[in-house]
Structure 1
Amino acid sequence: MDEKFELFPYFQPIVSVASGRIIGYEALARQYDKQGRVVSAGHLFASPKLDTKQRLELDRKLRRLALQKFSEIDNSTYLAINISAAWINNLRQLNALPTLKMLDELNIDRQRIILEITEAHADINKLREIVKRYRQQGLRVALDDFGSGSSQLERVLAIHPDIIKIDMQLFKKASKGGIASDIVHMLTRLGKRTGCQIICEGVESDNEFLFGLNCGAQFMQGYLFSPAAAEFKAPNLYEQHIGSLRNKYFRNTVSKVQKNIEAINAIKSFIYKLKDTLQADFNLNELAKWNFSESNIVRFYLCDNEGKQISPNFNFTENHWFTDPRKIGFNWSWRPYFFQLIALESTGDCGRIVTSERYHDFDTDLLCKTLSLRLDAQRILLTDIIVGD
């Protein structure tokens, strides 16, 4: 094969946010450019200049070099090696898995190897069977670039990966807020619910690391700690740095949660006052004098014990109240904040305000929560409030 396609492996550390230690590496393809600089060679595996056989030969040669280098270190770290889903389609026999043969020849503990299934298309049934065989042989499986394509959820259902790596571009967008942030939080929750460990890739700044912590990621990978390098590093190299970042996250989050608790308590006091007022006839103009602008309340309405809305929405905006009857007759009994309140009362826990998760309000596009509270024996008070990011 042409010398310009001679590749060699570099290794990028993956760190644990809990221990601060390097727990593994991802093997990445590198080559020299015309100026003799080390550059990424990942593009070659999709290059039209190489046929399938040539790309496969490059891939397996690189994999062997990475495993050979990894076999020389004596610690508990793992190595993640990329396996293109396209290669899986090219296997004629499901039992003919060259990676397993390499591991046996190099005497590498299979529990220290993770196979990262990359983004290319593959037959789902074949992929499921291949992953099953790898697992039977003691290897773990990661799903790379999660969130980058429509096929990803199908793969989660098919192979139940041990590890999910959040797509780098999506993660970077998410760290700046907006809907991308909501998507990454949703993906990390999915990982937790399915028992997958979460790795955030492309972490380059303290703020991105802190965002990863906020998402619940257990592991991080990126230039904040190290680019891919030719040699492995001491497992405890980044402990102090990660410890400092954890402490910063802890202090900032405690302060933020304290402020949120204070704000919620103030709103709850306001709602209890509203409850007392609603026991009798009330005047919306009188309510406007309560300074609702500082309460973050945008509307309230009443439901019966079956969840049916029996009042109009009482909306507050620009220091004025107005009523909107369009939701009268709607039933909200299926919403968690409603049936949780009823369930608490059935256990004798009465008088508590039950709070929903955050959501974007359809009418105002604001980020809101709904608070539910027993008004009297027949009615329940629902209050929508604005919340911060």
Structure 2
Amino acid sequence: MIDGQPLACFQPFIDTATGRIAGVEALGRLRQSDGQLTSVGPLFADPRTPATALRRLDRQIRDHALSRLHEAPAEWFLSLNMSPRWISRLRADQALPSLKQLARHQVDPQRIVFEITELGGNSERLAHVVGRYRNAGARIAIDDFGAGYSQLDRVLALQPDILKLDMRLFQAAALGGPSSDVVKALAQMAEKTGCWIIAEGVETEAQLNFALECGSRYVQGFLFARAQEEFFATDAFVAHFAQLRQRYVKQKLSERGRLMQMRQQLSELMAILQQWAQARAPLSALPQLQAFPWLLRFYQCDRHGTQLTPNLEWRHDGWFADDRYLGHNWSWRPYFYHLLAEGWEERRLTLSNTYRDATSNQYCLTAGQFFDNGERLLLIDIDAAGL
């Protein structure tokens, strides 16, 4: 038995372009006899809860949310959670209960985002029903994106309009490390498929900064608001968001300033190393370079990308030559053909994007400049952790 009165509470989505509320997600609650609200989440996670009771509860909550949407600004959207397990049970010719609810409450389907939760359900049936939602004018979101590999197949099958990053993965990624690279890659994939990204579970300023770095269109979380019964004013968080965004931009400008300073130092370092390389001097003639603590290694390639010299690294107060990569060709790496395209004619110093080095697992940048009449390329690998 489900104890309490079912109702919907609403958590806002903040538009990162404006700081205004763009829509809300309906989240199920039960009002207890003492007036306290409890989440319905544990009921849906409990396998002992009868499926028929859950379906009835879900429709009651959705019905309540739709009945109140007229109180919200007309430009807001409403996100409704949909279980693929239940969608899969619908007959091919059966009227869709959710669309019937929209019609009963006279809600324009274009204001609705159906948020597909969980990983279960029949994929073919799910794709068919999602097509009917989309034909009616609704948008489709996939919740907890990144929580499982099978969701990549689901993205291809359903072609959603919105991807909500898995909250636990997102919060771990905001701390840095390998999961950060994974989430950024997921965000880039979403961008290439035309999806908008929602970062949910944004509870700290650092998490908001990471959401912005991932290109999130909307953010949702306790940093702004918990779910509540009443609707916030559209501009309730504009001032707060503007302040946070300004600090984020200031931080990025500071990072950019450090990068520009490093470029100047790189020009100095490049001149020192090219002078040594042009003279074809022995390793013992290389100066100590304590002024450049971010230097990892340097080496030379010919203009076709083949490595001509060992990697030269400063280790234990001395230069060390690592000849394992002699003869390797790096022309296929993005940093190399960028250098070739941008730097060969003008012989100017160019700098790659940040990447994770496969050998050392460090975040790196690679700087390069052609010399010796464009026949040789001097490449410098830089520790980018400080950036």
TM range (shorter): over 0.9
Cα deviation, residue 77, structure 1: 0.6
Instruction: Return closer, same or farther for 1:214/1:94 CA change in 2, 3 Å cut-off.
Output: farther
User: Does residue 27 in structure 1 map to residue 26 in structure 2?
Assistant: yes
Cα deviation, residue 345, structure 1: 5.7
The alignment partner of 1:326 has SS state of coil
Say if 1:166 and 1:201, in contact at 8 Å, map to a contact too.
Answer: yes
Deviations 1:168-195 (A, max 9, x none): 1112112222222222222222222221
RMSD, aligned CA = 2.0
The alignment partner of 2:54 has SS state of helix
Report the count of equivalent residues.
Answer: 385
Range with greater deviation from structure 2 (355-364 or 38-47):
355-364
> Quick one: which amino acid aligns to residue 131 of structure 1?
V
1:140 aligns with 139
Distance 1:195 1:300 in 2: 39
The alignment partner of 1:332 has SS state of coil
1:332 aligns with 330
Deviations 1:6-56 (A, max 9, x none): 421111111112111111000001113576421110222232223322222
How many percent identity over aligned positions?
Answer: 39
The aligned runs of 1:151-300 (5 Å cut-off) are: 151-289=150-288, 291-292=289-290, 294-300=292-298
Say if 2:20 and 2:235, in contact at 8 Å, map to a contact too.
Answer: yes
Range with greater deviation from structure 2 (367-376 or 220-229):
367-376
Distance 1:345 1:312 in 2: 23
2:353 aligns with 357
1:386 aligns with 383
1:103 aligns with 102
2:313 aligns with 315
Q: Where does the alignment leave 5 or more consecutive residues of structure 1 unmatched?
A: none
> Quick one: which amino acid aligns to residue 330 of structure 2?
W
> Quick one: which amino acid aligns to residue 307 of structure 2?
Q
Distance 2:162 2:7 in 1: 25
Cα deviation, residue 237, structure 1: 0.8
User: Does residue 341 in structure 1 map to residue 342 in structure 2?
Assistant: no
Say if 2:119 and 2:150, in contact at 8 Å, map to a contact too.
Answer: no
Cα deviation, residue 215, structure 1: 2.2
Q: Where does the alignment leave 5 or more consecutive residues of structure 2 unmatched?
A: none
Distance 1:185 1:94 in 2: 40
Say if 2:7 and 2:31, in contact at 8 Å, map to a contact too.
Answer: no
Deviations 1:106-138 (A, max 9, x none): 111111100101023122222222222211111
What TM-score does the superposition give when structure 1 sets the normalisation length? 0.93
1:71 aligns with 70
Distance 2:255 2:322 in 1: 35
Say if 1:298 and 1:317, in contact at 8 Å, map to a contact too.
Answer: no
Cα deviation, residue 94, structure 1: 5.5
The alignment partner of 1:4 has SS state of coil
Say if 2:363 and 2:384, in contact at 8 Å, map to a contact too.
Answer: yes
> Quick one: which amino acid aligns to residue 306 of structure 1?
H
User: Does residue 303 in structure 1 map to residue 315 in structure 2?
Assistant: no
> Quick one: which amino acid aligns to residue 173 of structure 1?
A
Distance 2:145 2:233 in 1: 29
Range with greater deviation from structure 2 (372-381 or 58-67):
372-381
